[in-house]
Amino acid sequence: MEGLELMLDFYNKKSVFITGNTGFKGSWLTKILIMAGAKVTGFSLIPNTNPSLFNIINIEDNINSIIGDIRDLEHLKKELYNSKPDIVFHLAAQPLVRESYKNPVYTYETNVIGTVNLLESIRNCKSVRSVVIVTTDKVYKNNEWDWGYREIDSLDGFDPYSNSKSCSELVTHSYINSFFSDQRVAISTARAGNVIGGGDFSEDRIIPDCIRAAIKKENILVRNPQSIRPYQHVFEALLGYLLIAEKQYDDKNFEGNYNIGPNEDGCVTTASLVETFCNSWGNINWTSRLEDTNFYESNLLKLDCSKIKNKLGWKPKLSIKEAIDLTIEWTKYHYLYNNVNKLTENQINRYFRI
């Protein structure tokens, strides 16, 4: 994609408010915006992993970092109003499927009421012009189709996490119709596929699980090796979020719902993904493990990303192997040298050509 430098120039001196900025995707997005010259305010809980990307690359030193709970409407409303942002990215969430089975009430409170609270806060903050609500590829009613889901397909996520994200899509649609039908602010939702990248230390995610096993020199244990998912590097999704926010800033016609996922060759089995990881890491093997039948997970999920490609000009830049190689490069450097600030910036520069 041409002109990525020009796209990031758009964010120079813009005031940006990010919820969930201490998470994996939120930390990378915040770092990109800092490098683009944006004035960033983050509203989030403390990082939920130790170590965390947020702390490793010292993001807190370069933004207005507010520790807050998205479920606390009055606190959120106050901080949003005080920061007077031009653009809002909503990433705060309980993001794990298996965790949602263990804590469904917290999952719904965070993912649904949290979205209500953000939109209600924006309704009373006149500075905001562009909003991106981040959901997931799992919002769709999954019929195990061989083809990718389109933005017009039915929403009905199965598990509490996926369903709560489906609900947040409906909440957003209602708020747009009820309160944002004028031209003041444009609001879109972004439904990204599974993301990978350096600095993800989450439990129950396949690449972080691979990394933990590789560091311990143990075999990787793979659950559901034949399941198919749309995998992509985190930069691909973040590019989509940034592009949506920019395009709709001056033209509300770009407002909408957008899938963000890889090309067909990025929709691979978990076994294929792990095999690619093993080949890139070196001297590591994997084996399947007995699936935990207490938790349902779909076997097949693909996205049709024609809309964002045709309407916004977005397209994937990295193959699965390139995404894994970037992830391993970051990870090995972190564990060898314990200082990845320059490499983090270098990877962003290489992708965005800043």
Domains in the chain, CATH or no CATH each: 4-194+232-262+299-318 (3.40.50.720)
**Predicted pLDDT at 266:** 87
- Residue recorded with tokens 């080949």: 279
Q: State mean pLDDT over 60-88.
A: 97
Q: State mean pLDDT over 326-345.
A: 95
Q: State mean pLDDT over 97-120.
A: 96
Residues in the chain: 354
**Predicted pLDDT at 297:** 73
Two tokens, residue 329: 């490069």
Q: State mean pLDDT over 266-288.
A: 95
Q: Return the closest-CA partner of residue 269 out of 222, 324, 210, 227.
A: 227
Which helix (H) or strand (E) covers residue 190, if one does? strand 186-192
Per-residue pLDDT at 213 exceeds 90: yes
pLDDT digits (tens, 9 = 90+) for 77-97: 999 999 999 999 999 999 989
Per-residue pLDDT at 181 exceeds 90: no
User: Which of 57-66, 170-179, 295-304, 308-317 is the least confident region?
Assistant: 295-304
**Predicted pLDDT at 338:** 81
pLDDT band at residue 291, thresholds of 50, 70 and 90? low
Q: Which strands, in side-by-side order, build the sheet including 228-233?
A: 194-196, 228-233, 267-269
Beta strands in 252-321 (DSSP E): 257-260, 267-269, 286-288
For residue 242, the tally of other CB atoms under 10 A from its CB is 25
Q: Are 228 and 122 in contact (CB under 8 A)?
A: no
Per-residue pLDDT at 217 exceeds 70: yes
Q: State mean pLDDT over 268-287.
A: 96
Per-residue pLDDT at 108 exceeds 60: yes
AA identity, residue 176: I
| Residue 187 backbone dihedrals phi, psi, to 5 degrees | -130, 125
**Predicted pLDDT at 2:** 45
**Predicted pLDDT at 282:** 96
Query: How many angstroms separate the CA atoms of 351 and 354, rounded?
Result: 8
Q: For residue 113, give the DSSP letter.
A: I
pTM: 0.96
Query: Who's near 300: CB < 8 A, 6+ residues apart?
Result: 142, 144, 145, 146, 227, 228
